[in-house]
Amino acid sequence: MANECSKVNANCVMKQGNPCPAYDTDKNCWEYDWLPVFKQMAKEDQKKWKSYMLEVCPQCAAYREPMKKIIERIEKEIQT
């Protein structure tokens, strides 16, 4: 089921009125390749999204093991 996070997470960025590239491509957050998007973001946006992923994503009912690996990769490759 695509966009599961936006349906079950009360803190989803979509519900806060923010754009979500995973949602826009009809993918779940753990199916989306976030790294290219992060690399194109301004440092302040990288910091905001990275913080969100570290703090909010693990609490989401839709959180899956692949998302953990994505977050670890972002932590390793994106320095904020």
Average confidence (pLDDT) over 21-25: 89
The answer to whether residue 1 scores a pLDDT higher than 70 is no
- How high is the pLDDT of residue 62? 84
Range of the structural domain that residue 9 is part of: 4-77
Please report the pLDDT score of residue 72 as a whole number: 93
Q: What is the mean pLDDT of the chain?
A: 88
d(CA 51, CA 56): 8
pLDDT digits (tens, 9 = 90+) for 36-70: 999 999 999 999 999 989 998 898 888 889 999 99
Please give, one letter per residue, the 3-state secondary structure of 33-72: CHHHHHHHCCHHHHHHHHHHHHHCHHHCCCCCHHHHHHHH
Could you give the number of structural domains in the chain?
1
Cβ(34)–Cβ(5) below 8 Å: no
Whole-angstrom Cα distance, residue 4 to residue 14? 12
Q: Rounded mean pLDDT of 21-33?
A: 90
What integer is the mean pLDDT of 64-79?
91
